[in-house]
A and B are shown apart, each in its own frame.
Chain A
Amino acid sequence: MNNTTAKKPVKIKTVNRTAPKKRRRSVGLDKKKARSGWIFVAPFVIGLLIIYIPIIVNSILYSFGEIKVLTGGGFKLTMVGFKNYNEALAGNPDFVRTLVSGIKELLLDIPAIVIFSLFMAVLLNQKMWGRAVFRAIFFVPVILCTGLIGQIDSTNVLTSYMSDTTSSIDTGAGTDAVTQVVSATDIQWMFNSMKVGTGITQYVVKLMNGIYDIINRSGVQMLIFLAGLQSISPAIYESCDIDGASAWEAFWKITIPMVSPMILVNAIYTIIDALTSSSNSVMMFISNIYSGTNGHELSAAMSWVYFLIVIVIIAAVAGLLSLFVFYQRRD
């Protein structure tokens, strides 16, 4: 039983691979087919050459230059070397501080988002009453709370006022302290008995209070995890059940390894999404600089510093996680 079920997914995968096909077909036809792939990616190649690379190159040039707007429209760019970078890193007192605190904050959010979305995907994948309704509700933020609406939400003073039911009617003034989902003291009380230190306590309190934010940002990740969970063959769980494993063990021994490629993808997606979203503090700082005097060059320099840090973080996380990723088909 165990043997046959373990083999089954491997069989499915081999159907998709191109390896057996080569035996049947001559090499020339294969090559011809491969070359016609350029037809399909042509739009991207053209866009890359005509639009994207010039944008990137220009942006790098701007970050090394100084722009003088000419009176007749148009502009003149003079090269000034590393002046903008110097100003960003040494001249501007707030940039480095914002950068460090912003990145620290985001790095703490990322595991929370990945774990939350995995947990939710596992829950939504189970058979239960009202599953379709819950699924529909959970993906509402992906569609409706982006961009403009997210901006309106974040400045909405009424949300805290209305969900605040505990404040006395006499004053009527909405206070945000009471709107927190869990009060800090509750969690402190819980964690104090576990003796784990205040750092973790504060982290958890912050996560609980920012739960709406985390839900909002984990929609796509949930979809990707759901897709991954769907692709696990039920036969594996069945054989696991027959061998006497509990649901808990099955989760750690089957689900986690099988979705580990998705964990990698999601971690990277979350980093990209969080570090490049317009709502994070570094991006807001940069866009403030952008609208200031001489802001175009300075903000370009700052963005490239930021981008380099993002690349390093992505590479580090990808490298670290790929050590633990389990790929089912490796023949």
Chain B
Amino acid sequence: MNIQETNAPKVKKETKNKIRVEFDRTSFWKRFRLKYISWNFLGTVIWKIARFLLLLGISYVILMPFFTKISSSFMSADDFVDATVKLIPKYPTLATYKAIIRDNGYWTALINSTILSLMCAVIQTLICAMIGYGFAKFKFKGNKILFAFVILTMIVPHRTVQFSMFMQFSFFDIGNLLKIFTGKGIIEMITGSSVKLINTFWPLALLSLTGLGFKNGLFIFMMRQYFRGVPDELEESAYLDGYGVVKTFVKIIIPLSVPMMITVFLFAFSWQWTDNFYTTIFFTTMGPKLLPTIVKIPSSLDTSVASNMFNAAVNNASAMLIIAPLIIIYLFCQRYLIQGIERSGIVG
């Protein structure tokens, strides 16, 4: 009893707003021993080191292809012949880059791809946000059936239907369902022929506008889950202030969902950027030059020496040229990528 009283902290009031507490601290060594010299602490340290090494190792596995891409793109023919050269080129050169940029028309391809990807990404982000909001917050009849169709568009791979997709857009018409029975679509009835949309940006624009583009099902799903987490009270207060449904969406919901929209935008943009499926379906050699077309051996570059490796190096250099803009965008946006997804609270 007595001991307890002496050990108990003494509280002194120094001034009106300040107190001072006096108590006997356990000695430093005792605290040190208890805290750091124990199996528990050892386990924690080992776990932390193991975790760090594991993450480091996997990061290495992820980044290694980029290192090889970068270094091999600077290699000259001498490096491929020299057996002592592994990762670091001995005779670095910019010739590969220069040849690709000059001969393969990099700048035109870059501009065309930028326009196409930006257009698709912006449209897809807005449209998927809209559709996702519709599915998340409105309990209209047929909501669930329609959402099942969204899942269906995800499940049916576009590669499965690539031929009919090509046909759809080379003979584009609005009433194509009608066409199966009557042989003529609505546009054909009016103007006499269907519209050929191949080699224009229209097919991808139309697919994006209707939420049918590449992986748009996933975007709609992500958006829907995100909007489900937005409290209804927000919209209710907007309705009370006299906003309509559309105005509420534009003024309240969209500003709220910027992180998630950046995530979707990043996905849409980069997937469109490196896409070579739609570009091969919808664009022939006659069409605008896009980035996938620059992946070829430039005519002025002599790759006959160590051709196997040299060709790979040329491919690597073009890959670097293609992803360079993406890397810059990723560096700026990756913060939002994780933020957006963290706040979404996706629940199945």
From 165 to 196 in chain A, residues with beta carbon under 8 angstroms from any chain B beta carbon are 165, 169-172, 181
Of the candidates A147, A287, A307, which one forms a contact with B156 in the assembled complex, judged by CB atoms under 8 Å apart?
Answer: A307
Q: Is the CB of A165 within 8 A of B295?
A: no
Tell me the bound Cα distance from A211 to B72 in angstroms: 23
Shortest distance from the beta carbon of B156 to any chain A beta carbon, whole Å: 6
A92 within 8 A of B: no
Q: Let me know if A156 is at the binding interface, CB within 8 A.
A: yes
Report B-chain residues with C-beta under 8 Å of the C-beta of A115: none
**Bound-state Cα–Cα, A62 to B164, Å:** 8
A215 partner residues in chain B, CB cutoff 8 A: 58, 61-62
Is B338 within 8 A of A231, CB to CB?
A: no
Which residues of the other chain, A, contact B207 by a CB distance below 8 angstroms? 47, 51
**B161 A59 Cβ-Cβ under 8 A:** yes
Contact B131 A43 (CB under 8 A): yes
With beta carbons under 8 angstroms apart, the residue of A35, A226, A286 that contacts B341 is: A226
Residue-by-residue, is A82-102 near B (CB-CB < 8 Å gives 1, otherwise 0)? 000000000000000000000
B160 touching A135 by the CB < 8 A rule?
A: no
Residue of B133, B134, B174, B337 ringed by the most chain A CB atoms within 10 A: B134
- Which one of B87, B209, B347 lies within 8 Å of A228 (CB-CB)? B347
Does A41 lie within 8 Å of B131, measured CB to CB? yes
A-B contact count (CB 8 A): 299
Contacting pair B58 A138 (CB below 8 A): yes
The answer to whether B138 has its CB under 8 Å from any CB of chain A is yes
Flag if A141 contacts B68 (CB, 8 Å). no
- A165 to B: closest C-beta gap in Å: 7
Residues on A with C-beta less than 8 A from B149 are 44, 48
CB-contacts of A299-328 with B (<8 A): 299-300, 303-304, 306-307, 310-311, 314, 325
Contact with A137, one of B59, B137, B139 (Cβ below 8 angstroms): B59
User: Residue A162 at the B interface, CB < 8 A?
Assistant: yes
B218 close to chain A: CB less than 8 A: yes
Contact residue among B59, B177, B232, B236 (Cβ-Cβ distance under 8 Å from A138): B59
Complex-state Cα separation, A134 to B83, whole angstroms: 34
CB neighbours of A139 from chain B (8 A): 334, 337-338
CB neighbors of A among B21-49 (8 A)? 48
Interface of A is mostly: helix
Contact assessment for A300 and B163 in the assembled complex, using a CB-CB cutoff below 8 Å = yes
* Residue contact A129 to B52, C-beta cutoff 8 Å: yes
The answer to whether A50 and B174 touch across the interface, beta carbons within 8 angstroms, is yes
Taking A34-B139, A161-B309, A227-B341 as contacts, is the C-beta distance between A128 and B51 under 8 angstroms?
yes
Interface size class of A (residues with CB under 8 A): 35 or more
- Assess whether B327 is interfacial by the CB under 8 Å rule: yes
CA distance A137 to B220 in the complex (A): 26
Please judge, given known A-B contacts A38-B134, A156-B315, A215-B62, whether A55 and B139 are in contact too, CB under 8 Å: no
Neighbour of A157 across the interface among B232, B270, B292, B309, CB < 8 A: B309
| CB under 8 Å from chain B, chain A span 42-91 | 43-59, 61-62, 74-75
A-binding segment of B6-14, B98-106, B272-280: B272-280
Shortest beta-carbon contacts, A-B, top 4: A47-B210, A37-B138, A40-B134, A172-B83
Residues of chain B having any CB pair with chain A under 8 Å: 48, 51-52, 54-55, 58-59, 61-69, 71-72, 83-84, 86-87, 127, 130-131, 133-135, 137-141, 143, 146, 149-150, 153-157, 159-165, 167-168, 171, 174, 176-177, 179-180, 206-207, 209-212, 218, 220, 228-229, 231-233, 236, 245-246, 249, 266-267, 270-271, 274-277, 291-292, 295, 308-309, 312-313, 315-316, 318-319, 322-323, 326-327, 330, 334, 337-338, 341-342, 344-348
